[in-house]
Chain A
């Protein structure tokens, strides 16, 4: 069913086009859903988006000539797919580490049948996320172990959230990463199947409701 045009959406559509909507609010999804069904707002979007592109053009400024030389000189002879390039430095040790983990996991599963584990990965759209982790449930303790955490500004900490299916995020402990970017958090909960563990950046000590978009999530299937 077509959604009738709503003048009140026009301002929001323009804000969306210039990237001026906080992605954590849900308004982006609201705008997208509306754009899919409202031709008038799609036209507004196109104009606002083109005007936004023009704003970028207004800043155009020639870079130093030496930069061109530097970039051209730095290009590999052939474009090496980034994943392959990165793999060369860490792939072998990562595979070795993964093999060890698998072996340990098999042993652990044999001896601790009650343990479960899930992978934690970067949330869709979490652009600057370099982290990954594992959530384990053993002995009634839900623990997330993470690597690749970015350093945080003063006054900020990471915080875990447990989200039951259809439920609101429940605040769990705040924590910090160490100098190597590793961190872990124990969540004193027994999750239901399908729950999600999410990590956000919050004020030190944690928040009662998330104030930033989760960048790392694990679904406990």
Chain B
């Protein structure tokens, strides 16, 4: 059954335009004048996937399975269900590689995994989150390239620890529990504006911390 969720998630993704221009204002991107080897390599792997290249699939699995499985496991808190989601996501990828419409592959497959896992947590018939950023919001984000080409999971864990508890709690509830800011506000008993501000400030601080780490 999760397989169907993922299939539907992917088939309804807005296929965003793909352009690789680099942003010059952010610390990570200042140093990045062209696509990182990892990013360009993934484009090549996805091209090979279009012609049923199992070696390309295996390489993509080895590179991203921990991301997919880890997100699903954190959301579902169930190893078996996390394996189901992982299998569903990669099976979909094999069957329908064209579902990836561009942008950062790791960021994309993260969102697919997150949505698939959250769909299991929440009622299958109800969705109150947008499935994916619509096509009119650019999905290309050179900053996402930087996240996945330069950062290690442990660095992000450490950066998250440095956030004030209320900010970390708000953004983790949003990301891993799929809660809207109004649902977070209800859970923590804080005003809506306060929660929105915590989310934004937390994301900003997280980003700035990661930048400092990358610069160090």
**Partner-B contacts on A (CB < 8 A):** 10-15, 17-24, 28, 32, 35-36, 42-64, 67-68, 70-72, 74-76, 78-82, 85, 124-130, 149-150, 152-153, 156, 201, 212-213, 215
Known: A15-B200, A59-B176, A63-B66. A53 touches B104 (CB 8 A): yes
Interface SS of B by simple majority: helix
Contact flag A127-B119 (CB < 8 Å), given A62-B66, A212-B126: yes
Of the A-B pairs whose beta carbons lie under 8 Å apart in the complex, a sample of 27, sorted by A's number, is: A14-B196, A18-B175, A18-B203, A42-B138, A46-B23, A48-B203, A49-B144, A53-B106, A53-B147, A54-B156, A55-B171, A56-B111, A58-B157, A59-B153, A61-B74, A62-B65, A72-B54, A72-B58, A75-B57, A79-B49, A82-B7, A82-B11, A124-B12, A127-B5, A128-B127, A215-B125, A215-B126
Cβ of B160 under 8 Å from chain A: yes
Inter-chain contacts of B87 with A (CB < 8 A): 67, 70-71, 74
Closest to A63 in B: B69
When A28-B130, A55-B171 are in contact, do A47 and B203 touch as well, CB less than 8 Å?
yes
Q: Given the complex of chains A and B, what is the CA–CA distance between A15 and B200 in angstroms? A: 7
A57 to B155, CA, bound (A): 9
Would you call B197 an interface residue if the criterion is a C-beta within 8 Å of the partner chain's C-beta atoms?
yes
Contact flags B196-216 to A (C-beta < 8 A → 1, else 0): 110110011011001000000
State whether A46 and B141 are in contact (beta carbons under 8 Å apart), knowing that A61-B73, A128-B125, A129-B125 are contacts in the complex.
Answer: yes
Q: Are B199 and A53 in contact (CB under 8 A)?
A: no
Contact (A47, B124) CB under 8 Å given A10-B200, A128-B5? no
Those of B45-88 within 8 Å (CB) of chain A: 49, 52, 54, 57-58, 61-62, 65-67, 69-71, 73-74, 79, 82-83, 86-87
**A residues less than 8 Å from B175 (CB atoms):** 18-19, 52, 55-56
Q: How far is the CA of A124 from the CA of B126 in the complex (A)?
A: 13
Checking A20, A45, A56, A63 against B86 with a beta-carbon cut-off of 8 angstroms, the contacting residue is A63
Looking across the interface, which residue of chain B has its beta carbon closest to that of A199?
Answer: B125
A8 CB to closest chain B CB (Å) equals 9
Known: A53-B104, A55-B175. A152 touches B71 (CB 8 A): no
Interface centre among A32, A50, A79 (most CB of B within 10 A): A50
Give the A-binding residues of B (Cβ under 8 A).
4-5, 7-9, 11-12, 23, 25-26, 49, 52, 54, 57-58, 61-62, 65-67, 69-71, 73-74, 79, 82-83, 86-87, 90-92, 94-97, 104, 106-107, 110-111, 113-115, 119, 123-131, 133-134, 136-138, 141, 143-144, 146-148, 151, 153, 156-157, 159-160, 171-172, 174-176, 178-184, 193, 196-197, 199-200, 203-204, 206-207, 210
For the complex, give the distance between the alpha carbons of A178 and B108 in Å. 36
Contact B82 A63 (CB under 8 A): yes
* Residue among B8, B69, B129, B146 with most chain A CB within 10 A: B129
Task: Report if A21-B199 is in contact (Cβ < 8 Å); known contacts: A54-B151, A63-B86.
Answer: no
Q: How far is the CB of A24 from chain B (nearest CB, A)?
A: 6
Is B130 touching A79 in the complex (CB atoms < 8 A)? no
Q: Does B123 lie within 8 Å of A153, measured CB to CB?
A: yes
Residue from A42, A58, A76, A125 with most neighbouring chain B CB atoms (10 Å) = A58
Known A47-B207, A57-B153, A62-B69; contact A24-B128, beta-carbon cutoff 8 A = yes
Q: What's the Cα separation between A44 and B203 when bound, in Å?
A: 10
Q: Is the Cβ of B137 less than 8 Å from the Cβ of A79?
A: no
Contact of A51 with B204 in the complex, beta carbons under 8 Å: yes
Beyond A45-B137, A60-B70, is A50–B199 a contact (Cβ under 8 Å)? no
